Amino acid sequence: MNMRYFILLFPVIMFAGCEYEAGYGLRPPVVGRYTDLDSALEDPSSVRELILTDIGDSLSPEIGQFPRLYHLEIRDSPIRFLPEEIGELKLTRLKLVATRLEHIPPQIWRYKNIYDLSIIRSTISTVPDSLISSNIHILELSLSKLKSLPEWMQRWEQLDGSLILDNCEFEHFSAGENAFPGVWQMGLRRNSLRTFEAGPNSFRSLKILYLHSNKLTEFNVSSGSMRNLQSLDLKYNNLTDFQVPMSALPGLEYLSLTGNPIPPASVERIRQSFPNTRVIF
């Protein structure tokens, strides 16, 4: 091949077969990824990721036979519980999408290796206290029946990754003093939020906050909270103004207020209040 054409084609060759995954970006093909349990059982020690779809109402106990499995994903299956054998795995990531789980599995605290837990499109309405004893650092409970979080979650220092609660049933969200100290990314998109309040010194590590497509009329930030926030998405709410001073959000680089009924006079004042921030209306 002519070297000139090789150089031009090199990026295509490099990324051929790659996949995009929300939260992780462009990922190369995973060696050891299986989508069929029977095929995976032919060589259990080679299995790293297992993605199962439409497996019926129970997960086979054979799931415990994969000594190097770190990512288990179950989709579109009417399972209501997880087998005890999962506790024998070295799983770090567990993702359950469109199952019939009504509760976060109470034994989740025994899965000491699970770092990243996602339960999406469920009827879960509460977060059990046992979760605080788990090793979870990243949590997603989107498309659930959640309306509120237990008080202890606000003090859960171990939760130092992302907390995603999109498409739930929150109408108000209030973070108390020193709440959510480790969370760096939070999503509350497409709820029914009318108010959002960050108490003193809350969200100290937060860099990205997604609040778009709610019904917000109030967004309040107390002294010392969100000091490291870089990106704030408030698109498509009912805000008529944005009166948070720049001193409260000194690191803010991006602010989206698109789709809010903010009058022109306030638009100009907001732009002047955040001269170093990309503000979009």
Locus of tokens 């010392």: 224
Amino acid 88: pLDDT = 80
Q: Which two tokens stand for residue 234?
A: 């408030």
Amino acid 15: pLDDT = 40
Which one, of 107, 109, 102, lies nearest residue 125 by Cα? 102
* Spans of the chain, pLDDT less than 70: 1-31
CATH fold of 165-281 reads 3.80.10
Amino acid 247: pLDDT = 85
Q: Domain-by-domain residue ranges, the chain?
A: 18-146, 165-281
Amino acid 5: pLDDT = 42
CA–CA dist 29, 1 (Å, integer): 25
Q: Which two tokens stand for residue 43?
A: 């060589």
Amino acid 259: pLDDT = 97
Locus of tokens 């973070």: 175
CATH fold of 18-146 reads 3.80.10
The pTM of the full predicted model, rounded to 2 decimals, is 0.86
